Chain A
């Protein structure tokens, strides 16, 4: 069937649709930026872009963390609470007793790896495990930091408030993270990790350990989640157990918006970074559009639906 449609149809249209689909996250982001700039030309500056996109950095890290989990056909519903926990650790333990803080962060990442192993050994649905875990993370965060407060360690604020010479900091970080993850996923090891999502049985038959692949991806996810928490505290300078709860859904939406699929190991790190930036910008975009705050959450959802619907349409066009 596919053979026939491939041969009878010219390759040109096929490629155009595919290209459009690949560029969709970039197009959505540039459209949003274009509207913001036309409303407020002053945003088109070093300071403007830094302010607009500052909060995108932790979202990008959380999205890439989610991407690791989605690459192996799982879903992480705990990433938001995990980022919150790491932020709380950073604002308290890491500030007061750096060694203990580092140990706590390493332990948290290690638990992520264990969760991966558990999901694999017992063939548990990752959604259930991580949903349960999200309450554990939030609970721990509340124990560490019962009321919002704490202080970010100096070095985190320095890293997040640094002003490089030419490029606004969030854009610099976005490029580094996107390219880094892209290269990692394209490396010989990353290929095996993605293959574990694409056809686990074949990978096992070829002599690779699926357990190792899953634990590796979960550990990567944990590390990126911890970095997201650190980045968030560096920006806000204080912590709160519930500060990142919405990251869970934002990160999933970012991965899918960026061209990833829920199953089959199809992920696109650069797209995911653009998707995360688009979702962060959506809030400011609506303010610039003079949409009253009452409508903003609904409008944000509408933007998401429109972009995802476009993607579905392009997918279908490609199949045809």
Chain B
């Protein structure tokens, strides 16, 4: 490749955190206007690579060169900004206390002086209109008041705004994870247009079909190295999954293990939720050992239903009956999942402290045993369970949250889209686990935004605008049927 055609070039970049080698010599060339897909397990080094590209992390060794082959000596956030490198981080990087327009200002030192507010608001609105037509976001709104999906839209649109330095490269880490199907589609088609205009993009995602359709070139990372680099048109899902490691086999096994189950109701009903007065829709029920999926577009009442069920345990509410203790596996790890200052074992045992007591105090020995047992069973990768929970990669943190719910006495496990941003092999392990626990008589209610995950369920309820609009049994569950129900009587709506 001609050096002028390079947007950014990493040469033999290495980065370690203590004993963990996050990047073990990565050489990556992003061409001008190229759409690059980056995939890999959690802990494969994608996030580290991205933070290096963004200038947030300084590599231990290796060089970074810009357009024309110029080597950049002190590559930090300021240098990255000057080169026109922008990032959409997985953890939302907007200031929730500022308005949408003010958040645009944060990215652009040039927005100052008289009328900066108007210019900032115009800038972000223009970009939102360009990427997500019909977004319905007022740039004067405070970000904290926006839904997660809309915040993500603002964050993406902000990365594409231009004031003084032209954009060369936009790095998107799991950009579609909180977008609904329409917005995700809009984003992918915008990326295509942007690339025609010479803006390169690095697109990180766990959803392989999305990567294959969004990217021209796909790079697979594993254990801090690039293990596969090829044109998207020549790759298939199978090849990518195989290059990531043993996940291929596990995945297909998990898929086939989704057994055909009769939904005969001879088993006791563990959960019954009638539609709330005035809302209509169908009732929801789950028998012991069921894995029940909650589907539909994001934010259409699935989480609300889970919280309603969670609150119902121990109360006498005729509309919502729950026959066993309930545990919730949250999806948003940062805000309602982990206790960031606690150890891994305490994060697991916190749901079960009641049963770990001796003379009214927590028995450290039993707590340790519990943590050790679940480390073994669910495969949490850490040298020491007494390390802080944040020392784990995202996927392993999520495993710890699963362990927290499963280690408890709860008979009903509610899952609020828990696999968001989790790598494929962790997913496969957890799917197997869920199936095994269901066979032991636990009941699962599983809200998922990923179509593929729903096929691990015995039955699926489809939500639309807070109501259940369809109840699909194993035999009726097809992608088309679920999509049809999700979009029921909302043909013109853009969420």
Contacts and interface: CB of A to CB of B under 8 A. Distances in A.
B148 A205 contact: no
Interface stretch (B105-113, B371-379, B433-441, B449-457): B105-113
B466 A207 contact: no
Contacts of B107: 206
Describe A's contact surface by its main secondary structure.
helix
Nearest to B304: A4
Nearest to B303: A1
A198 interface: yes
Contacts of B94: 199, 202
A213 B107 CA distance: 15
Contact of B106 (A4, A5, A7, A208): A208
B390 interface: no
Contacts of A197: 97
Interface of B: 54, 56, 77-78, 81, 87, 89, 91, 93-98, 102-103, 105-107, 109, 111-113, 116-117, 145, 147-150, 298-301, 303-304, 307, 465-466, 495
Interface in A216-274: 264-266
6 A-B pairs closest in CB distance: A3-B147, A3-B299, A198-B95, A202-B93, A198-B97, A195-B95
Interface of A: 1-8, 186, 188-189, 191-192, 194-195, 197-199, 201-208, 264-266
A3 B97 contact: no
A199 B117 CA distance: 20
Given A195-B97, A202-B106, A206-B81, 19 more contacts: A1-B304, A4-B300, A4-B303, A6-B145, A7-B495, A186-B117, A188-B113, A191-B105, A192-B105, A197-B97, A198-B96, A199-B95, A199-B96, A202-B95, A203-B95, A205-B56, A205-B77, A206-B106, A206-B107
A208 B81 CA distance: 11
A266 B143 CA distance: 12
Nearest to A265: B97
A101 B298 CA distance: 63
A264 B96 contact: yes
A205 B96 CA distance: 15
Contacts of B145: 6
A204 B78 CA distance: 10
25 contacts: A3-B147, A4-B301, A4-B303, A5-B304, A6-B145, A7-B495, A8-B465, A8-B466, A188-B113, A191-B98, A191-B102, A191-B105, A192-B105, A194-B97, A195-B95, A198-B97, A199-B93, A201-B93, A202-B95, A203-B95, A203-B106, A204-B56, A207-B109, A264-B97, A266-B97
A1 B307 contact: yes
Contacts of B298: 3
A265 B105 CA distance: 16
A3 B148 contact: yes
Contacts of A7: 147, 299, 465, 495
Contact of B148 (A2, A189, A192, A201): A2
A198 B103 CA distance: 11
B424 to A, nearest CB: 27
Nearest to B107: A206
Contacts of B96: 198-199, 264
A197 B94 CA distance: 12
Contacts of B102: 191, 194-195
Nearest to A208: B106
Nearest to A203: B106
Contacts of A203: 95, 106
Contacts of A264: 96-97
B98 A195 contact: yes
A201 B97 CA distance: 14
Contacts of B117: 186, 188
Contacts of A186: 117
A188 B303 contact: no
A317 to B, nearest CB: 15
Contacts of B81: 206-207
Nearest to A204: B77
Given A4-B304, A195-B95, A188 B299 contact: no
A189 B106 CA distance: 10
A265 B95 CA distance: 9
Nearest to B150: A3
A206 B304 contact: no
Nearest to A190: B102
A6 B87 contact: no
Contact of B77 (A1, A206, A266): A206
A201 B301 CA distance: 31
A2 B96 CA distance: 14
B72 to A, nearest CB: 15
A207 B300 CA distance: 37
